[in-house]
Amino acid sequence: MEQKEKKISKAIIQRLPRYYRYLGELLSQGVDRISSSDFSKLMGVTASQIRQDLNNFGGFGQQGYGYNVKNLYEEIGKILGIDRVHNIIVIGAGNFGKALAGYSDFEKRGFRIKALFDKDSTKVGKTYSGITIHPMEELRTYIADNNIEIAALTVPKAAAIELASVLKDTGIKGIWNFAHTDLNVPDSIVVENVHLSESIMRLSYNMKSRNAGS
Amino acid sequence: MEQKEKKISKAIIQRLPRYYRYLGELLSQGVDRISSSDFSKLMGVTASQIRQDLNNFGGFGQQGYGYNVKNLYEEIGKILGIDRVHNIIVIGAGNFGKALAGYSDFEKRGFRIKALFDKDSTKVGKTYSGITIHPMEELRTYIADNNIEIAALTVPKAAAIELASVLKDTGIKGIWNFAHTDLNVPDSIVVENVHLSESIMRLSYNMKSRNAGS
């Protein structure tokens, strides 16, 4: 079995959370197992694609049985690293920051938003969805004292670039970047970008090309 | 020249908005042209990747000259379909909806948010960033009367599924879906998903695999 530490393609990583989501929905509907072909129909991808993807992780299907929903859900959860809690802070208590703080779906998946941070002193001390806004001066000590692994940046571009530089020696392991810029960080920190402007441009492109009848 | 209506890969479409962003920054810094190798360093991708990507659209570089920033910016803008205005409504005036309404970057790129919609009658009539919240009853007529092409859905899952069904015969051409579900719409409507839960799972996966020393 060569399943361990095999290099997984980026495309598969893109798809794994979607498998996880569908399996979670099946679980909550009380579905114990699903055939490869039903799973394929549900997800709108070919059964062979699903098999190929899951084979990268040792393969969880059994001939003539299909997939055990709970097992597969848990295994993918482990692969994604969400079989344990991740502590998060959100820097920038604007609308996006508040939206993240109020999004209970994250908590369900073990992503626990512990605090908001903002440089605006008039916001400090307020709470949103039970999460308190802290002053920027407390950033370093808060991260150290609360085992924070992920910082979500919901601040303007220039502030995000500055923050990336501040965060690099705080022990933060991941930055969830909502600012419309790329960040320079050491290799030890993973950046996941949510570039909404790029997302809406892709929408526009696809609308245009679909209209052209392609 | 086979540049017209060539089938463009999804991976390139993923990258085009990023080219566009960097070119826009160069433009605003007064840069007229950039060599393929400087552009490559700036973007952190190989020069050959850039050439390959842009060749799909007829190629805009000239040997020994590099890229004309303004031309390339405008050409990519046309390809992305953002050389004109798109009218947008945001359905769901919660924190995410308000955040979108307040995000001036979209307007700069020709994405004009014209109205918010919410089923909560206590919100109706209020404005955020100059954008008024309308009642759901006005949805159809508003879309028709204001040449709305895109609906952003910042509502819970069940509401998004319902709305997708309502929107399908309104003339809407694109749905920007922030709900954590896939939507069933006719082929004439393009859906662009922003699945934040999946984004943070990818972050978690990459943190885990980087930690494992891969």
Per residue in A40-77, pLDDT (tens digit) is 999 988 988 888 888 877 666 666 778 899 999 999 99
Alpha carbon distance, N-terminus to C-terminus of chain B: 43
- Write the CATH number for A44: 1.10.10.10
CB contact, 8 Å: B125 with chain A? Answer: no
If DSSP codes are grouped into helix, strand and coil, which group holds residue B103? coil
pLDDT at A108: 81
pLDDT at B212: 74
Asked if the model's pLDDT at residue B1 lies above 50, the reply is no
Per residue in B101-134, pLDDT (tens digit) is 988 778 888 899 999 999 999 999 999 999 999 9
d(CA B137, CA B153): 16
B149 found inside a domain: yes
User: Both A55 and A151 in a single domain?
Assistant: no
A167 found inside a domain: yes
Answer whether B118's CB lies under 8 Å from A115's CB.
Answer: no
CB contact, 8 Å: B207 with chain A? Answer: yes
User: Both A76 and A91 in a single domain?
Assistant: no
User: Both B116 and B136 in a single domain?
Assistant: yes
pLDDT at B196: 94
Say yes or no for a CB contact (<8 Å) between A203 and B8: no
Mean pLDDT of B189-209: 94
Q: Kindly report the average pLDDT of chain A as a whole number.
A: 90
d(CA A39, CA A51): 11
Residues of chain A contacting residue B106, judged by C-beta atoms under 8 Å apart: 196-197, 200
CB contact, 8 Å: A41 with chain B? Answer: no
B3 found inside a domain: no
CB contact, 8 Å: A157 with chain B? Answer: no
Q: Domain boundary residue among A26, A51, A80?
A: A80
Compute CA distances A78 → A83, A111, B93, B208, whole Å. 5, 14, 35, 10
Say yes or no for a CB contact (<8 Å) between A79 and B188: no
A2 found inside a domain: no
Compute CA distances A140 → A117, A130, A145, B99, whole Å. 11, 22, 9, 27
Confidence of residue B4 (pLDDT cuts 50, 70, 90): very low
Q: Domain boundary residue among B80, B111, B138?
A: B80
Instruction: Please give the residue of chain B at the shortest CA–CA distance from A207.
Output: B190
Closest partner CB to A198 (pick from B17, B95, B100): B17
pLDDT at B213: 58
Extract the tokens encoding A185.
């960080």
Answering whether pTM is above 0.90, one says no
B204 found inside a domain: no
Asked if the model's pLDDT at residue A6 lies above 60, the reply is no
Say yes or no for a CB contact (<8 Å) between B96 and A94: no
User: Both A93 and A71 in a single domain?
Assistant: no
Please give, rounded to a whole number of angstroms, the shortest distance from the CA of B189 to a CA of chain A. 8
Label residue A186 exposed, middle or buried (CB < 10 Å: 0-12, 13-18, 19+). exposed
User: Both A142 and A193 in a single domain?
Assistant: yes
Q: Domain boundary residue among A51, A80, A109?
A: A80
CB contact, 8 Å: A102 with chain B? Answer: yes
d(CA A181, CA A155): 11
Q: What burial letters (b/e) apply to B122-138, b meaning 16+ CB within 10 Å?
A: ebbeeebeebebbebee
Say yes or no for a CB contact (<8 Å) between B80 and A180: no
User: Both B33 and B118 in a single domain?
Assistant: no
User: Both B59 and B130 in a single domain?
Assistant: no
CB contact, 8 Å: B44 with chain A? Answer: yes
B1 found inside a domain: no
Domain limits for position A70: 10-80
Per residue in A76-135, pLDDT (tens digit) is 999 898 989 999 999 999 999 999 998 877 888 889 999 999 999 999 999 999 999 999
d(CA B31, CA B64): 17
Considering only A7-16, B18-27, B89-98, which range has the smallest mean pLDDT?
A: A7-16
B182 found inside a domain: yes
Mean pLDDT of B166-189: 94
Asked if the model's pLDDT at residue B205 lies above 80, the reply is yes
Per cent of chain B over pLDDT 90 is 68
User: Both B92 and B159 in a single domain?
Assistant: yes
Instruction: Please give the residue of chain B at the shortest CA–CA distance from A105.
Output: B197
User: Both B177 and B92 in a single domain?
Assistant: yes
- Write the CATH number for A146: 3.40.50.720
Mean pLDDT of A142-150: 97
Residues of chain B contacting residue A79, judged by C-beta atoms under 8 Å apart: 205
User: Both B104 and B173 in a single domain?
Assistant: yes
Helices in B109-195 by DSSP H: which ranges? 139-145, 157-167
Tell me how many domains chain A contains. 2
CB contact, 8 Å: A149 with chain B? Answer: yes
Residues of chain A contacting residue B208, judged by C-beta atoms under 8 Å apart: 80-81
Per residue in A155-194, pLDDT (tens digit) is 999 999 999 999 999 999 999 999 999 999 999 999 999 9
More confident residue, A6 or B209: B209
Mean pLDDT of B175-187: 94
Q: Which residue has the tokens 């919240």?
A: B133
Asked if the model's pLDDT at residue B45 lies above 60, the reply is yes
User: Both A167 and A124 in a single domain?
Assistant: yes
Per residue in B14-43, pLDDT (tens digit) is 889 999 999 999 999 999 999 888 999 999
User: Both B75 and B91 in a single domain?
Assistant: no
A214 found inside a domain: no
